[in-house]
Structure 1
C-alpha cells in the first residue's frame, strides 16, 4: 500500500499528471478513496510554492543572461495567450476556475505560471490555486470512485 501511495504522490506532483493521474491511479490500485484524495491533494498543493521558488531563484541568477531573458519573455507571452483573457479579466476567480478544470494544460503548474506572469498577488494566487486544486481533486476522486465501482460490477 505504501508504494502505491508514494506513486500517487509522485504522479500528483508531476507536471504530466498532477492529481488528475494520481487519484485515479490510487483508486484503481484499491487504495481507500480518503487516502487517494488526501495524498493526491497534498502532492498537487505543493506545486505552487515549488514553482514560485524555482521562478524566483532562476530569475535572480539568470536574468543577466540575454538568452534566458529572451526565453522568459517568449514563454510569458505564450503563457498569457494560453490562459486566455478570463484569468486576466477575472483575476482570482478566473485563476481558480482555470486551475479547477481537470483537463490537460490547466492545473497548478499553469496556474502558478499564469499568476506570476499576470502579477497576481502571491497570497491571492495561492488561495485561488489551492481552491481550484481542491475542487479538481474532488471531481477526480468522485469520478474515480464511481468509475471503479462500475468496473468492479462488470
Structure 2
C-alpha cells in the first residue's frame, strides 16, 4: 500500500483484477490501510524527538511547526478536530488518506488510541465510499453497454 493510492487503488484492483467480492475487497483494503497506521502513529513522536535531539535544523523545524500548529489552531481542532480528521480521511481525494490523517493527528497532539480510532473510522468510511462507487460504476456501465 502506497501513501497516495491507499484504498483508491486497492479496492478496485482487488475487485477487477483479482476477482474478489466487494466485501472481501473492502475488508482486506480497509485492514491493509489501517495496519500501517498502528506503526506510523506510534513512530512519529519518537522519530521527531530523535531528530530534534540530534539535528539543529530539525530541532528548529519541529519546534516552529509544533508551536505554530498547536497554539494557533488547537482551539479549532479541539472543537471540530475529530469530525475534521474523520472527514478528511473519508473523502477519497489524493493526499487525504490515512497516512496524511495520521500526520495531522500527530501534529495536533491527538492521543495515540484516539488518533487510531479516528483514522480507522475515516478509512472505513472511505472504503465504503470507494467500494459502493466502484461497484455502482461497474453496474452502470454494464447497464449502458
Distance in 1 of aligned mates of 2:67 and 2:15: 38
Partner of 2:43: 54
Of 7, 18, 32, 1:19 maps to: 7
Which residue of the partner structure matches residue 40 of structure 1? 29
**Structure 2: which 5+ residue stretches go unaligned?**
none
1:41-80 residue CA offsets vs partner (Å, 9 max, x unmatched): 0111113212123313422432221122244357668988
Structure-2-length-normalised TM-score:
0.80
The number of aligned residues is 139
- Quick one: structure 1 residues 90 and 152, their matched pair in 2 at CA, closer, same or farther if it must change by over 3 Å? same
Structure 1 residues 145, 73: CA separation in 2 closer, same or farther (over 3 Å shift)?
farther
Please say if residues 8 and 130 of structure 2, whose CA atoms lie closer than 8 Å, have aligned partners that are also in contact: yes
TM-score between the two structures when normalised by the length of structure 1 = 0.75
Deviation at 1:145?
1.0
Question: Does 2:86 match 1:96?
Answer: yes
Residues 53 and 106 of structure 1: CA distance in aligned 2, closer, same or farther (over 3 Å): same
CA apart distance, 1:119: 1.0
Task: Give the gaps of 5 or more residues in structure 1.
Answer: 1-12
Who wins on radius of gyration, i.e. which is larger?
2
- Greater RCO structure (CA 8 Å; 6+ sep): 2
Aligned residues of 2:86 and 2:118 also touching (Cα < 8 A): yes
CA distance in 2, matches of 1:53, 1:148: 38
Distance in structure 2 (CA, Å) of the matches to 1:71 and 1:126: 25
Query: Aligned-pair RMSD on alpha carbons?
Result: 2.7
Q: Distance in 1 between matches of 2:69 and 2:5?
A: 19
